[in-house]
């Protein structure tokens, strides 16, 4: 149900307004592998209620297409089913975590000149 934090803050799953909209006008459409729940209204508005942190990158590509009206039908299953063998499972944005991409740092000392400067 809804708690005190949800009434006054938006970063705890949903606001009170979203809770009422979902309660009265929302039709449950499906749930993804992260536990996010997707809803649709009669006038074709679509929204998501996140399970934990509100992070837009948690929406998988299948649900992203449905949310943005690219496809009509929602995905059939919660489990990720890759279409091609090279596809990887969806990950949320890893920035700021230990899994973030960190390229090799090049220090000034490690760069060796491959040329001589002109002497005037």
Per-residue pLDDT tens for 77-94?
766 667 788 888 878 888
Is the distance from CB of 79 to CB of 33 less than 8 angstroms? Answer: yes
Distance between terminal CA atoms of the chain? Answer: 78
Reported as a pLDDT band with limits 50, 70 and 90, residue 106 is low
pLDDT tens digits, one per residue of 7-62: 565 556 777 788 888 889 999 999 988 889 999 999 999 999 988 878 888 888 88
Q: Tokens standing for 45?
A: 């508005």
Pairing assessment for the beta strands 46-49 and 37-40 based on DSSP bridges: antiparallel
């Amino acid at each position: 149900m809804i708690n005190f934090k949800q009434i006054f803050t938006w970063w705890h799953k949903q606001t009170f307004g979203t809770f009422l909209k979902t309660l009265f006008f929302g039709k449950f459409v499906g749930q993804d592998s992260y536990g996010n729940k997707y809803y649709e209204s009669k006038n074709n508005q679509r929204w998501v209620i996140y399970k934990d942190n509100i992070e837009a990158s948690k929406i998988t590509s299948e649900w992203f297409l449905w949310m943005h009206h690219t496809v009509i039908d929602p995905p059939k299953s919660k489990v990720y089913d890759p279409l091609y063998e090279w596809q990887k499972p969806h990950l949320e944005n890893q920035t700021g975590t230990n899994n973030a991409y960190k390229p090799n740092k090049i220090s000034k000392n490690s760069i060796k000149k491959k040329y001589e400067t002109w002497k005037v």
